[in-house]
Amino acid sequence: MKVGFVTPRYGPEIMGGAESAARMLAEHLQARDGVEVEVFTTCALDHLTWKDELPPGVGELNGVRVRRFPSRAGRSAAFYGLDGRLRLAPREASLQEAERWVQLNGPVVPALVDALTRSDLDVVCFYPYLYYPTVRAIGRVPMPAVLHPAAHDEPALYLPVFGRTFASADALCYHTEAERRLVQQVYPETAATPQLVLGLGVATPPPARRPGGEVLGLGDRPYLVSVGRVDEHKGSVMLARFFAAYKERHPGPLALALVGPVAAEVPAHSDVVVTGVLDEQDKRDVVADALVAVSPSALESFSLVVLEAWTLGVPVMVNGTCGPTREHCEHAGGGLWFTSYEEFEVGLERLLADPGLRRTLGQAGRAYVDRHYRWPVLIDRYLAFLEGVLARGKGRRGSSERADQLARGRRAQALA
């Protein structure tokens, strides 16, 4: 089976959740007998500019064939004005405005779309829903198209241009049930589309090398850890501020480590350590010795960092408004969540005061990962799913005409 992946950025340098997910899935799929994976992507590394930084052409990365196309345009300066206006009431945007939003957001790569439509792929997987390559190609490709939306509850999801994107998919693959419910709530016409809740695999962590406190320069002090891009959008600033308020009311040795590339300035605090990017071993050591791993982001479609903490037996605290991470906690019994400062404070007090509770939650989280999120199991399920998509062929739902027909039906139903 020849499987294509379309993603706006691709490579080990990319920290974006959806792009990393696409790469992991592509590489694990390629390792299976009888599967050939080819990636269609751009030369960009930065999702804010889509500037061409990698050479165009065909290459290979970890056994996967990668075809890179230069962008005709990256993200336009005009994007921000339009985005700011449309995000206030995205459902009210006209189709033309939404189309323009996609164009200005970039990366504009018509050559990628053309090459894809001429390729000999058996099935093509688009990852995520949000960008030009997916929006422009999914309704045009002659082979069955699988959409991995990697959607979270953000204003863009409600822009009318994406109704056609979702309706054009021959099949959908989600990270979590929460993501599926969200997409189905916004685009009910996806309800009957073949779909799978897959998630992502978590690798077995390497053995410990040195204490996490040593890596952080904290010695024996207890600490919380938050792994991921240090960014206001990811909740890092909020977490740092919540932690500072907590420390004012609970003086003591507790520290907070923010681990990941720094994209936002965090208010300085003597108990907050911002490490920047750590190598995998150091990251593992830091997480393994943390009392609690905190995921403050409200906008996650899966959150590997939560699952990685669980593989190390560390309980988590997550943002309660983030459907996927909260779903993980509820299903696994591996963590608590907060929707206000008080809940953060009380939840943290409970976890810090009770080693037995931390141990029980950490172990439950690890068992949950072992049951559902190990690569061999996931790839078996994904391959069976792709075989089904292939057997079904390019469905009637796959055509733009059908997508429009469904949309018209919905509108008629709503009017009635």
Closest to 397 measured CA to CA, from 73, 165, 112, 88:
165
CA angle, residues 187, 107, 201, in degrees to nearest 5: 60
How many residues bind to another protein according to rule CB under 8 A? Answer: 77
Binding residues for another protein restricted to 15-74, rule: CB under 8 A: none
Query: Nearest distance from residue 171's CB to another protein, in Å?
Result: 9
Query: Nearest distance from residue 356's CB to another protein, in Å?
Result: 10
Out of 49, 119, 281, 363, the residue judged to bind another protein by CB under 8 A: 363
Out of 180, 229, 284, 358, the residue judged to bind another protein by CB under 8 A: 180
By beta-carbon proximity to another protein, the closer residue of 53 and 177 is: 177
355 binds another protein (CB under 8 A): no
Closest to 308 measured CA to CA, from 282, 337, 336, 287:
287
By beta-carbon proximity to another protein, the closer residue of 247 and 381 is: 381
384 binds another protein (CB under 8 A): yes
Binding residues for another protein restricted to 130-159, rule: CB under 8 A: 152-155, 157-158
Out of 57, 188, 219, 355, the residue judged to bind another protein by CB under 8 A: 188
Binding residues for another protein restricted to 67-126, rule: CB under 8 A: 90
Query: Nearest distance from residue 341's CB to another protein, in Å?
Result: 4
Out of 298, 304, 314, 352, the residue judged to bind another protein by CB under 8 A: 298
231, 291 contact by CB (below 8 A):
no
By beta-carbon proximity to another protein, the closer residue of 220 and 342 is: 342
Out of 48, 95, 191, 203, the residue judged to bind another protein by CB under 8 A: 191
404 binds another protein (CB under 8 A): no
By beta-carbon proximity to another protein, the closer residue of 129 and 242 is: 242
Query: Nearest distance from residue 117's CB to another protein, in Å?
Result: 25
Query: Nearest distance from residue 198's CB to another protein, in Å?
Result: 8
Query: Nearest distance from residue 18's CB to another protein, in Å?
Result: 17
Binding residues for another protein restricted to 196-215, rule: CB under 8 A: 196-197, 199
